[in-house]
Amino acid sequence: MAGAVSQAAFCVSYAWTARRRSWPAATGAGCAAFAVATAALARVRPSLAVLAVVVVIALAAAIRGMPRRDIDGRVPAPPPRWDLPARMVLATTFVLALTAAAGALGPRLTGLLAPFPLYAAILTVFAHARDGGAAAGSVLRGLLAGLIAFAAFFLVLAATLSAAGMGMAFAVAITVALVLHGGALWTLRRVDRWHRACSA
């Protein structure tokens, strides 16, 4: 759950850097922000209630701190044929590397690194390289909205696992996550329609 804070830091740092710089610089800035947040979180062990409050505040601040949405009316370019295979190779390579290093890193640091927005970063980089910083920002806004359900899943799981048992705890956590994902998707679509109406 604490990893949501690091992911939020990645999103904000990447999005602001992407407004003026290319994807390598933005990726470096996002990874640096993720690393700093992860290093800070690795030093503390707050209670579940305190951690939940910290995560909510961090996500709210990140959503509010994202750069203004730019609507330029451009139609995204169709991806080249190598696009999907390249994403698959990159994602698989990172997953295998983290899995191989898990023994040396230990369970807590591995848990903090596991939420690295690997797939979202790959999607963001490809969108940035193909369609510019505004497209990358849109991907990251979607990630931030999804992080609410991500954090809620682990909060519910941590709060109910001991008392309710594995099956019931996972069922409740998944249900909560799906409901929040649906609400986030509905909200994003409403906001997107409103921005497009204002820019028309």
75 assigned to some structural domain: no
**Is there a domain that residue 71 lies in?**
no
Is residue 102 a part of any domain in this protein?
Answer: yes
In a domain, 76, yes or no: no
Q: What pLDDT score does 59 carry?
A: 94
pLDDT for 71: 52
- 94's CB contacts (< 8 A; 6+ apart) are 116, 118
Say how many domains are in the chain.
Answer: 1
- Where residue 29 falls among pLDDT bands split at 50, 70, 90? very high
- Asked whether residue 65 carries a pLDDT value surpassing 90, the answer given is yes
Q: What is the pLDDT of residue 86?
A: 75
Domain hosting 24: range is: 3-65+83-199
Whole-number Å distance between alpha carbons of 170 and 61: 28
- 109 vs 53, more confident: 53
Q: How sure is the predictor about 79, in pLDDT bands with cuts at 50, 70 and 90? A: low
Asked whether residue 56 carries a pLDDT value surpassing 70, the answer given is yes
